Amino acid sequence: MKTLVAPSVLACDFARLGEEVAAVTRAGADWIHCDVMDGHFVDNISFGSAFVEAVSRNTDRPLDVHLMITNPDRYLDRYLPVAHSVDIHLEADADVPETLRRIRAAGKKAGLAINPHTPVASIDPYLGQFDLLLVMTVEPGFGGQPFMEDMLPKIRAAAEWREKHRLDFRITVDGGINVQTARRCREAGAEVMVAGTSVFRAKDRAAEIAALR
């Protein structure tokens, strides 16, 4: 699988949302990543469905909507109309298999996200039910955190599980991703690089995205 770069709008200038999203689209982003936070599942509130819909109006790239919220099943239908993929957390208070099924039934890619403390073995009951495995490489909730080096063995383990079970889900990494850490994540088996700060604060966003890829 080729490497995909998904800039996270959490790091953009919200006052210039449309311009920022259009700019990274022109710069070569493969996907646009939207981190939805509810202030309960994580200790931060980011934005909701109206914001994500506004993002969709300023790009032709697939939207990867990451629901860092306690009840993703309750709010799912608000995001499905504009999402290409929706990631829910294994740790959330939800019927995970049913929520993944609903995402796929809507014709979208289903993503399963796991926090740093969650072992890879926890995905075993859900194998075959998701299209993306999102490995958090920072504690979720805030952008700009440093990459957690001890997540690299988890990425490798996830890639080994994929090969062992002959599945084709993509492995996404989110948190502290820059050119150096992206290279190491790719070597470990990840294909989708969610990069916020490194892309939106780059002097040359096109060059940064190309380097990440």
Residue 45 main-chain phi, psi, to 5 deg:
-120, 125
Q: Are 87 and 112 in contact (CB under 8 A)?
A: yes
Q: Which two three-digit tokens encode residue 158?
A: 């996830």
Residue 186 is inside which H or E element, if any?
helix 179-188
Q: Has 38 been annotated as catalytic?
A: no
Q: Which of 30, 87, 131, 174 is catalytic?
A: 174
Q: Has 174 been annotated as catalytic?
A: yes
Question: Which neighbouring-strand residues pair with 109?
Answer: 85
Q: Which of 30, 35, 87, 131 is catalytic?
A: 35
Q: 192, exposed or middle or buried, with CB in 10 Å at 0-12, 13-18, 19+? A: buried
Residues that are catalytic: 35, 174
